[in-house]
Amino acid sequence: GAGVSQSPSNKVTEKGKDVELRCDPISGHTALYWYRQSLGQGLEFLIYFQGNSAPDKSGLPSDRFSAERTGGSVSTLTIQRTQQEDSAVYLCASSQKWADTQYFGPGTRLTVL
């Protein structure tokens, strides 16, 4: 089937605004992950969902960041009161089971002016 999709592909927002980033995982994948990749940097783990378990939020950089996964499928990452340091590419990945091979989406490039 289709791979992991993310929307929007690009988002430009003003400092202080809220943004929502969407991820559609591969159908049937029980695990879903969010990462952040800043320019020229590596991957920063943010949060993951595994089945119906409560998400592990330990990687979220601040309480302005939150995420939910509805019906065990689509996930939304919300950033409230965006700051310029939030500018990055936000990547979503899914896997059949926890810590298995991850399939990445194309990412959402967020620019906070």
Using CB under 8 A, list all residues that contact other proteins.
33, 35, 41-43, 45, 48, 56, 58-59, 91, 93, 98-107
3-state helix, strand, coil in the chain (%, to 5): 5, 50, 50
- Nearer of residues 18 and 100 to other proteins, judged by Cβ: 100
Shortest approach of other proteins to residue 58 CB, angstroms? 3
> Which residues lie below 8 Å from residue 71, measured CB to CB, with a gap of 6+?
none
Nearest distance from C-beta of residue 14 to other proteins, angstroms? 27
Q: How far is the CB of 89 from other proteins (least distance, A)?
A: 10
